């Protein structure tokens, strides 16, 4: 459609800019007749001057004036000829403008108006909202492959193509795409170069199932630029272990673990850290200090009574929070010390409330010895309690100094009442 519109605009430009130049009017017949009359009058007047009773000096003066009159009339009649010469100049300029219009239209179509961009952008947006079907997925991949080669300067398309390939498990092709991208990116785009190095190293590792020194060096150089890149830190730890560098692996995973809230991912990192610590002890006899893994907080198993769960659609929001309790008659802060929001469909589930869920930097769960824990199913979707919400409470419990793998101190919190 864009190509058709561009073609129509070019035709219109040709009609209004170039076509009129082919219709420049030549000198008319009346102008030619007038020139002949002027010349005839000139000869008559010239003869009269020669035959008249004038001195030689007067004849010369009259002849000079007559020549001037003839020259003036001839120049006046020659103006249309000059107009044609100017028309020729305008023709060349207009042709140049027309060529510029053609070139500009093609460039604009290629750079700004390509229909592929619109379609691919639509598919990418749809992919954020829902799972694309097989045909749409195929169209997206083929379109990205085509456009990333067709307009190689548009590096963002090539990066997106690499991400799609990675998500689909085509790691060999993804690594090739990222390698081309690294050749294109300017040195000053350090953040983009670093992120692309991480993606290249990951794809290469998944494809080859082994770590090379080049891959390890790429990850290390990338983390020098973006030191808190979580994906890069995770890979760096794996690469360090494979390259017999357990102490470096420990540092990479420590940096990553401290960024993560309690989760399945953080638990996996904990297990990796402990294995590396054991390896270091076995190889060198050195005991690794893992006190940094202590997370003060409260570990919970949250569930809901079956009769209340039967009344829910599964789409409601669940808020779990820890609040300070009054001490020695002093009022407790109203702001929760830790809050997390989840889907009620995930019940029953284990969760840990720590400083990672703090709402204010000066109100953390680690600063208090005891807290009240509340689990609330919000019918309105808002965290503020309202009549009709389902609740469960633990009025007072001790904050543990460490929640790392502390399965013996997991509290059961059951949602069993309806708020009034």
230-254: pLDDT as tens digits:
999 999 999 999 999 999 999 999 9
Domain-terminating residue out of 111, 134, 153: 111
For residue 153, tell me if it sits in a domain: no
Write out the residue range of the structural domain in which residue 348 sits. 297-418
Does 307 lie in the same domain as 259? no
Mean pLDDT for the chain?
79
Is residue 65 one of the residues assigned to a domain? yes
Shared domain check, 240 and 324: no
Q: Indicate if the pLDDT at residue 211 is higher than 80.
A: yes
* DSSP result, 61-108: HHHHHHHHHHHHHHHHHHHHHHHHHHHHHHHHHHHHHHHHHHHHHHHH
- Domain end point (choices 259, 293, 327): 293
Within this chain, do residues 252 and 341 fall inside the same structural domain, yes or no?
no
Q: Are residues 392 and 349 in the same domain?
A: yes
Same domain, 321 and 387: yes
Closest listed residue to residue 250, CA positions, set 283, 215, 279, 285: 279
Asked whether residue 31 is assigned to any structural domain, the reply reads no
Total of domains in the chain: 3
pLDDT, tens digit (0-9, with 9 covering 90-100), for 77-118: 544 444 445 555 555 555 555 565 556 555 545 544 455 666
Judged by average pLDDT, the poorest of 229-233, 339-343, 373-377 is 339-343
Tell me, what CATH number does 234's domain have? Answer: 1.25.40
321 within some domain: yes
Q: What is the pLDDT of residues 28-43, one digit of tens each?
A: 556 556 666 666 776 6
19 with 96, same domain?
A: yes
Are residues 376 and 385 in contact, defined by beta-carbon separation less than 8 angstroms?
yes
Same-domain pairing of 330 and 413 = yes
Same-domain check for residues 302 and 406? yes
Closest CA to 76 of 21, 29, 38, 25: 38
Same-domain check for residues 11 and 86 = yes
3-state secondary structure of 256: helix
Look at residues 77, 93, 111 and tell me which one is the last residue of a structural domain.
111
């Amino acid at each position: 459609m864009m190509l058709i519109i561009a073609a129509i605009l070019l035709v219109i430009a040709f009609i209004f800019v170039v076509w009129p130049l082919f219709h420049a009017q030549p000198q008319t017949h009346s102008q030619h007749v007038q020139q002949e009359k002027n010349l005839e009058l000139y000869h008559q007047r010239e003869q009269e001057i020669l035959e008249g009773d004038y001195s030689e000096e007067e004849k010369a003066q009259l002849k000079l004036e007559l020549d001037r009159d003839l020259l003036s009339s001839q120049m006046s009649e020659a103006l249309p000829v000059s107009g044609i010469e100017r028309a020729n100049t305008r023709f060349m300029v207009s042709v140049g403008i027309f060529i510029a219009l053609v070139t500009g239209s093609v460039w604009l179509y290629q750079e700004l108006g390509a229909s592929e961009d619109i379609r691919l952008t639509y598919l990418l947006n749809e992919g954020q909202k829902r799972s694309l079907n097989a045909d749409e997925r195929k169209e997206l991949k083929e379109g990205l492959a085509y456009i990333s080669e067709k307009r190689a300067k548009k590096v963002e398309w090539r990066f997106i193509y690499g991400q799609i390939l990675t998500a689909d498990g085509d790691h060999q092709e993804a690594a090739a795409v990222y390698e081309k991208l690294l050749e294109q990116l300017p040195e000053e785009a350090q953040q983009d170069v670093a992120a692309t190095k991480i993606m290249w190293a990951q794809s290469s590792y998944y494809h080859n199932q082994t770590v090379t020194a080049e891959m390890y060096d790429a990850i290390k150089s990338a983390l020098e630029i973006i030191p808190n890149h979580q994906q890069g830190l995770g890979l760096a730890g794996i690469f360090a272990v494979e390259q017999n560098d357990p102490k470096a692996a420990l540092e990479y995973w420590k940096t990553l673990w401290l960024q993560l809230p309690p989760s399945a991912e953080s638990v996996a990192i904990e297990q990796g850290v402990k294995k590396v610590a054991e390896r270091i002890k076995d190889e060198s006899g050195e005991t690794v200090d893992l006190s940094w893994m202590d997370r003060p907080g409260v570990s919970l198993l949250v569930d809901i009574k079956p009769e209340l769960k039967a009344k829910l659609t599964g789409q409601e929001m669940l808020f779990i929070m820890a609040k300070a309790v009054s001490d020695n008659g002093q009022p407790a802060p109203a702001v929760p010390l830790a809050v997390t929001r989840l889907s009620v469909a995930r019940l029953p589930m284990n969760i840990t409330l720590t400083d990672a869920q703090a709402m204010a930097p000066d109100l953390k769960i680690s600063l208090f010895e005891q807290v009240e824990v509340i689990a609330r199913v919000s019918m309105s979707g808002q965290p503020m309690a309202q009549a009709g919400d389902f609740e469960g409470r633990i009025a007072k419990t001790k904050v543990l100094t460490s929640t790392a793998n502390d399965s013996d101190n997991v509290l059961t919190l059951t949602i069993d009442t309806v708020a009034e």
